[in-house]
């Protein structure tokens, strides 16, 4: 390969790696944000039972 093609290929690989790295960081941020959101609590819920289920 000549120098220009080699440099172009290196730039292509670098851009792909940066894109993959950014994608990985974005997915990590999504996971962290979903954990920080409040989740509904089930504490205190009672389910009605039919009389025949006792």
- Per-residue confidence band for 5, with pLDDT thresholds at 50, 70 and 90: very high
Q: How far, in Å, are 8, 14, 19 from residue 32 at the CA level?
A: 36, 27, 20
pTM: 0.48
pLDDT at 1 over 90: no
pLDDT for the residue 14: 96
At 12-47, the pLDDT tens digits run: 999 999 999 998 888 877 666 655 555 666 666 666
Asked if 9 and 1 touch (Cβ cutoff 8 Å), the reply is yes
């Amino acid at each position: 390969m000549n120098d220009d093609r080699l440099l172009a290929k290196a730039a292509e690989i670098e851009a792909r790696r940066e894109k993959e790295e950014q994608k990985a960081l974005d997915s990590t941020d999504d996971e962290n944000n979903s954990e920080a959101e409040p989740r509904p609590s089930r504490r205190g819920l009672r389910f009605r039972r039919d009389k025949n289920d006792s």
